[in-house]
Amino acid sequence: MPKKSKEGITFKKEENFSEWYSEVVQKAELADLRYDVKGFLVFQPWAVLSMEKMFYYLEKVLQEKGHNPYWFPTLIPEKNLKKESSHIGGFTPEVFWVTSHGKDEPIEEKLALRPTSETGFYHMFSYWIRSYKDLPFKTYQRANVFRYETKATRPFLRSREFQWIEAHCAHESEEKAMLQVREDMKTTKEVLHDIFGLPFIFFERPSWDKFPGALRTFAADVLNPDGKVVQQPSTHLLKQEFAKAFDVKFKDKDGTDKYAFITCYGPAVSRIFASVVIVHGDDKGLKFPWEIAPVQVVIVPIDTENEKIKKTAKNLKEQIEKFASIKIDDSEKRPGEKFNYWEMKGVPIRIDIGEKDLKNKKLTLFRRDLDKKIVVNESKVLNEIKKIAEETTENLRKKADKLFNNRIRDAKNISEIKKVINDGGIARISFCSVEKQGEKCAEAIEKQANAQVRGTRFEEKSEVSEKCIVCGTKANHVVYIARAY
Amino acid sequence: MPKKSKEGITFKKEENFSEWYSEVVQKAELADLRYDVKGFLVFQPWAVLSMEKMFYYLEKVLQEKGHNPYWFPTLIPEKNLKKESSHIGGFTPEVFWVTSHGKDEPIEEKLALRPTSETGFYHMFSYWIRSYKDLPFKTYQRANVFRYETKATRPFLRSREFQWIEAHCAHESEEKAMLQVREDMKTTKEVLHDIFGLPFIFFERPSWDKFPGALRTFAADVLNPDGKVVQQPSTHLLKQEFAKAFDVKFKDKDGTDKYAFITCYGPAVSRIFASVVIVHGDDKGLKFPWEIAPVQVVIVPIDTENEKIKKTAKNLKEQIEKFASIKIDDSEKRPGEKFNYWEMKGVPIRIDIGEKDLKNKKLTLFRRDLDKKIVVNESKVLNEIKKIAEETTENLRKKADKLFNNRIRDAKNISEIKKVINDGGIARISFCSVEKQGEKCAEAIEKQANAQVRGTRFEEKSEVSEKCIVCGTKANHVVYIARAY
């Protein structure tokens, strides 16, 4: 049946990951790449509905932890962007510039499309923060940001415009700023792991791989089936140069003026969505965790003309929509096509209503988390749906955690690193230094194993064996090696 | 007490509307104008929290009516923007252009920051729409848009970047497109009037005041205390030139290819927020309708050190947060300062907890809709709050409706128009024509009364007296005259 296979997903996730991903993005209608500006795309409803739910959970947790929401202008004046030299050094190559308006008339000053908004927020922090009583000053915004990427773009993973949340906070001391960094990591766990079901490790990046302007950078790495890691939220303790450049200071309890310690945290919702697609999906297509499924339950009437079936579908919908998002598929397609379609779309629960089942007061449920059909009594269907709703995310998360943990392996030398990496894993090694002097060893690994030092695991209590497996000098850290995009 | 008056609102809304508005925006911390790019500002938490709720209600209704959410790129290539000549004619002067990246390297093509997204959506419609079965094709996006305004900018009312929803739909016939226009007007009523409490009239704009590229334009006018109207959502039936320019066609039932009829609808959330501030506010500051209040209930403990009061506050908060957003103000300010502050901020309900009240098992509630204090038994406080929650929006809406309706007056000649307008009202007159031939009479009114023909009221069944009150020829319409910004 060539037609059928054309409609569904044809590539295998484990064998042809890259093609599988492209096919899922296209066939599940997540993004359309035919918008005719290089590196930009249109996010389609099935993705937007899920990403809106992701924003909801992220913003809810941030607000509960005392962050206040702002909307900053998209445009940042060049003079502000240039105030902190290491920051602008890192971002200048990626900036889009607005230079004119109307009929090519020059604007008052050159304006950047924000690649990130430190230089917007901290300019305003200097007005808003006066005293130690104003601290911690915790903010965030939901925003679209722009980066003139020169690497190949991939839908949701890397494009020239993407959707994110950026949280910016000012603190009175470095210790308090580090508590914020910990809080950001906890937030990431509570939302990305516990609700979206994504396993990751938070690494402190080595000194040569920090955010432009950061003193310390922490970033969560998620692992793809092709063995490459995707960087998810990162949180940074910025150098005080930022506070100095933007004059963010406060009068302390002792009456002296001090510069604030600033942290920033950036969960990129469109990229997190990519990881949800990739980590939970299978050869049939998407699998959504319950909380962020665009539609949670779909009803497929086996015969769309049968009045009794139609009535049952309508009644069920009315009861279910009180606690879940639900849709009846009364399109002209054949039932089999509908089954395949909604499985590909990753809807957690499908209810099939057929005449024979109805006679026996039964309904057939298909749960996508376990790819399992169950027949339940009509009277028990609501309870069963509520039960599946509670289990779906946990099932997906547990499966993902297991897979992830199995792919982290110790390596004792570079050829073992190569083996772990080529098996699609993350290698754990003893390493000399994550400061400048360790960069040579990192380069050796990069050259020989085509993989990078992702950093040290935050607060990992582990035995460091005596020697760096690359240079043989004293090892100070356990670091993790992985291949990135 | 000079200090007190400095902290609160000092201008009178009816006497010094413009200063009152600026003061409320600043003192209630709605927007900060000190962001250093001309015409751009920072939206602050108290406004963002309310505007997020506005997005929620608008998006909910749009989705229920079958619109699907998209996120389009912010950038539109010049070649697409230029495809429909009357549209680009209208928008070119207002476009910001992105022309370079990095170190002043030119980008592949000139890109516009979207002033509105017709030319983005319809380019994609040509891929997505194939057959009459795909119609109606109903979309929307939540987006920020950019216009290089040369008029004076005012926070929320007019700035160079603002937040809105734009809904774009394709239909198979002009009649079906007009049904969409009606639906858009109904949506506006259901959300802006019924939930946000804003009175308005939907006018069909005269031919000389249509959206660039529209066949028919309908727009809702809200009235400010200074007698000037603010244009709120507009909905447009576009000329088929748009569908032709972007090749949006479908195979009809009869097998022939036809161009679609396109409508677009644009509620600007930041501007709607301005109307909420202006219409409901009073000399003490803001008054929020319940549904869109950033915080719905605030508890003011009269003595923040008293353990019994603290415990009562905490218990109350736990019960109330199940159905309302709530905050305890345990800051160091005096109770009187707190009362004034939260009244200025427009929180619908304040609960004062004092020792004396507690002894009598009583609590004092202040309801901002009626500016009234009531003392209730502790055991009845939850029910009382739920009752006020149900009444608040209706009370604000009824008051606003009454004021609005009282300011619409008939006028029989230009000097009567002047009188109505100078009294801060909208004049209702008999008028010759809203087509080209009426424009001269409109200009005469503009010149003599400094006010504009806003259009005909959609489907108004009214007696048209025999003659146009300006030129004396046969009157064909009842039109409304008002002063706009």
| CATH no., domain B408-484 | 3.30.110.30
CB B326 within 8 A of CB B295: yes
Q: Does B45 sit within 8 Å of A70, measured CB to CB?
A: yes
Give dist(CA B96, CA B160) in Å, integer.
Answer: 10
Give dist(CA B129, CA B241) in Å, integer.
Answer: 17
Q: Which residue of chain A comes nearest to B111, CA vs CA?
A: A37
CA nearest neighbour of B266 among B231, B310, B291, B296: B231
Residue B3 confidence (pLDDT): 42
- Among the partner-chain residues A36, A77, A94, the one whose CB lies closest to the CB of B123 is A36
- Among the partner-chain residues B41, B70, B103, the one whose CB lies closest to the CB of A43 is B70
Judge whether A111 is closer than 8 Å to chain B, CB to CB: yes
Judge whether A72 is closer than 8 Å to chain B, CB to CB: yes
Residue A3 confidence (pLDDT): 42
- Report the largest interatomic distance among the alpha carbons of chain B, rounded to a whole angstrom: 81
Q: Does B94 sit within 8 Å of A104, measured CB to CB?
A: no
CA dist list (Å): A414 to A420, A425, A440, A443: 10, 14, 14, 12
**pLDDT tens for residues B140-182?**
999 999 999 988 889 999 999 999 999 999 999 999 999 999 9
Give dist(CA B19, CA B428) in Å, integer.
Answer: 29
Residues of chain A neighbouring B99 (CB-CB closer than 8 A): 97-100
Give the torsion sign (CA, B402, B405, B411, B415): positive
Judge whether A315 is closer than 8 Å to chain B, CB to CB: no
| CATH no., domain A295-387 | 3.40.50.800
Determine the distance in angstroms separating the CA of B23 from the nearest CA of chain A, rounded to an integer.
17
Cα dihedral B194/B197/B203/B205 (nearest 10): -120
- Among the partner-chain residues B35, B49, B73, the one whose CB lies closest to the CB of A40 is B73
Q: Does B43 sit within 8 Å of A71, measured CB to CB?
A: yes
- Among the partner-chain residues A37, A74, A103, the one whose CB lies closest to the CB of B161 is A74
Q: Does B73 sit within 8 Å of A37, measured CB to CB?
A: yes
Task: Quickly count: other Cβ atoms within 10 Å of residue B211's Cβ.
Answer: 23
Q: Does A102 sit within 8 Å of B127, measured CB to CB?
A: no
Residue B4 confidence (pLDDT): 45
Annotated domain spans of chain A: 2-280, 295-387, 408-484
Judge whether B68 is closer than 8 Å to chain A, CB to CB: yes
**pLDDT tens for residues A24-51?**
999 999 999 999 899 999 999 999 999 9
> What Rg do the C-alpha atoms of chain A give, in angstroms?
25
Read off the amino acid at residue A475: A
- B43 conformational bin, left if phi > 0, alpha if psi -120 to 50, beta if neither: beta
> How much of chain B, in percent, has pLDDT values that exceed 70?
99
Judge whether A33 is closer than 8 Å to chain B, CB to CB: no
Judge whether B131 is closer than 8 Å to chain A, CB to CB: no
3-state helix, strand, coil in chain B (%, to 5): 40, 30, 30
H or E element: which one contains A302?
none
3-state helix, strand, coil in chain A (%, to 5): 40, 30, 30
Task: Provide the chain B residues 232-291 that lie in CB contact (below 8 A) with chain A.
Answer: none
Q: Which residue of chain B comes nearest to A50, CA vs CA?
A: B69
Judge whether B93 is closer than 8 Å to chain A, CB to CB: yes
Judge whether B75 is closer than 8 Å to chain A, CB to CB: yes
Tokens of A294: 């665009």
- Among the partner-chain residues B38, B75, B97, the one whose CB lies closest to the CB of A99 is B97
Q: Does A99 sit within 8 Å of B100, measured CB to CB?
A: yes
CA nearest neighbour of A199 among A56, A407, A467, A376: A407
Judge whether B444 is closer than 8 Å to chain A, CB to CB: no
**pLDDT tens for residues B341-383?**
999 999 999 999 999 989 999 999 999 999 999 999 999 999 9
The domain made up of B295-388 has a fold known as: Rossmann fold (3.40.50)
Residue B209's SS3 state is helix
Residue A6 confidence (pLDDT): 66
CA nearest neighbour of B475 among B437, B446, B432, B434: B432
- What's B10-280's CATH class? alpha beta
Identify whether B115 is preceded by a cis peptide bond (ω within 30 of 0): no
- B361 conformational bin, left if phi > 0, alpha if psi -120 to 50, beta if neither: left
10 Å CB burial of residue A93 (0-12, 13-18, 19+) is middle
H or E element: which one contains A8?
none
Residue B432 confidence (pLDDT): 95
Give dist(CA B451, CA B416) in Å, integer.
Answer: 12
Considering only residues B89 and A45, tell me which one the structure prediction assigns the higher pLDDT: A45
Tokens of A381: 């269907």
Give dist(CA A144, CA A161) in Å, integer.
Answer: 7
Write out residues in chain A with pLDDT < 70, as ranges.
1-6
- B97 conformational bin, left if phi > 0, alpha if psi -120 to 50, beta if neither: beta
Provide the whole-model pTM. 0.96
Task: Provide the chain B residues 136-165 that lie in CB contact (below 8 A) with chain A.
Answer: 144, 146, 148, 161, 163
CB B432 within 8 A of CB B476: yes
Residue B1: which pLDDT band, with cuts at 50, 70 and 90? very low
Q: Does A34 sit within 8 Å of B124, measured CB to CB?
A: yes
CA nearest neighbour of A456 among A233, A203, A209, A184: A203
**pLDDT tens for residues B122-144?**
999 999 999 999 999 999 999 99
Contacts of A295 (CB under 8 A, 6+ apart): A49, A325, A326, A327, A345, A347
Taking domain A2-280, whether its CATH number is 1.10.3720.10 is answered by no
Task: Provide the chain B residues 395-424 that lie in CB contact (below 8 A) with chain A.
Answer: none
Read off the amino acid at residue B203: F
Task: Provide the chain B residues 160-189 that lie in CB contact (below 8 A) with chain A.
Answer: 161, 163
CA dist list (Å): B122 to A94, A470, B35, B76: 29, 57, 35, 12
Judge whether B94 is closer than 8 Å to chain A, CB to CB: yes
Residues of chain A neighbouring B36 (CB-CB closer than 8 A): 77, 80, 123
Q: Does A45 sit within 8 Å of B69, measured CB to CB?
A: yes
**pLDDT tens for residues B197-212?**
999 999 999 999 998 8
For an interface test with A, give the residue of B78, B79, B97 to mutate (most A CBs within 10 A): B97
Residue B185 confidence (pLDDT): 98
Contacts of B349 (CB under 8 A, 6+ apart): B296, B297, B298, B365, B366, B367, B368, B385, B388, B389
Determine the distance in angstroms separating the CA of B361 from the nearest CA of chain A, rounded to an integer.
31
| Of the listed ranges A105-109, B116-120, B384-388, the one predicted with least confidence | A105-109
